[in-house]
């Protein structure tokens, strides 16, 4: 039985991006079901929790991005969604959980909006602190495990959890260290990233204030 992933608008849904890019990059087959926010269809399809993403596997329903990633890692161990080494895997889960539960200032100050024209938005102090913490984590991971991704040469679930942050850094022209930029370049070079962004800017549900700037969005 095939997996179905219910997602929201690709331009805005940071939570939907996480399992989608993980599954796509890992080659896990699934059927995508996109339901636009603020529509009757969304209320019908989003499930009892009223949230996306929602993974459907037969009678099983899993919502919340990190829970979906853990379920997929158990069901598809060959995909290598987490590092094989015990210590690295524990580290990856720790930073993924920190992303899942934290960085509220960054989320609120720099909402994901892939199609929006790149703008410079000065960071509020708490958002700047979030950026500094994320950069420090990324640098530490890449120094320990060799890069170009957080845990070595292979994109993993931890990278998927931080993919929307990369989008935010691009959209709002956040000043970052060269090492951070190198990590962002590795992630944005993924075919899965490019496919998501191409679909995001083509969506018909963009809000009126959004100004599309595709060449900036599609940077490698």
Question: How far apart are alpha carbons 87 and 84 in whole angstroms?
Answer: 9
CB distance 39 to 204 below 8 Å: no
CATH superfamily of 3-79: Glutaredoxin (3.40.30.10)
In the chain, residues under CATH classification 1.20.1050.10 are 86-202
Question: How far apart are alpha carbons 153 and 92 in whole angstroms?
Answer: 14
**pLDDT 10s digits, 8-22:** 999 999 999 999 999
**pLDDT 10s digits, 61-77:** 999 999 999 999 999 99
**pLDDT 10s digits, 26-61:** 999 999 999 998 888 887 888 777 889 999 999 999
User: Could you tell me whether strands 54-57 and 30-34 are parallel, antiparallel, or unpaired per DSSP bridges?
Assistant: unpaired
Would you say the C-alpha torsion 148, 118, 127, 13 has a positive or negative sign? Answer: negative
In the chain, residues under CATH classification 3.40.30.10 are 3-79
pTM, full prediction: 0.92
Quickly list DSSP for 25-81: HHT--EEEEE--TTSHHHHHHSTTTT-S-EEEETTEEEESHHHHHHHHHHH-GGG--
User: What fold does the segment set 86-202 form as a domain?
Assistant: Glutathione S-transferase Yfyf (Class Pi); Chain A, domain 2 (1.20.1050)
């Amino acid at each position: 039985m095939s997996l179905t992933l219910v997602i929201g608008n690709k331009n805005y849904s940071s939570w939907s991006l996480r399992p989608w890019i993980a599954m796509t990059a890992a080659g896990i087959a699934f059927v995508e079901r996109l339901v636009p926010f603020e529509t009757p269809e969304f209320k019908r399809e989003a499930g009892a929790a009223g949230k996306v993403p929602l993974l459907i596997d037969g009678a099983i329903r899993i919502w919340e991005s990190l829970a979906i990633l853990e379920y997929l890692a158990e069901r598809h161990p060959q995909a290598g969604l987490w590092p094989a080494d015990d210590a690295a895997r524990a580290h990856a889960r720790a930073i993924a959980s920190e992303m899942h539960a934290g960085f509220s200032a960054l989320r609120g100050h720099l909402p994901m909006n892939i199609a929006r024209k790149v703008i410079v938005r000065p960071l509020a102090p708490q958002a700047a602190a979030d950026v500094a913490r994320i950069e420090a984590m990324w640098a530490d991971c890449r120094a320990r495990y060799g890069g170009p991704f957080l845990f070595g040469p292979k994109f993993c679930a931890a990278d998927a959890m931080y993919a929307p942050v990369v989008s935010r850094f691009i959209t709002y022209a956040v000043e970052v260290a060269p090492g951070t930029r190198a990590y962002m370049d590795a992630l944005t070079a993924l075919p899965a990233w490019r496919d998501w962004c191409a679909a995001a800017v083509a969506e018909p549900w963009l809000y009126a204030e959004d100004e599309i700037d595709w060449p900036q969005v599609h940077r490698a």
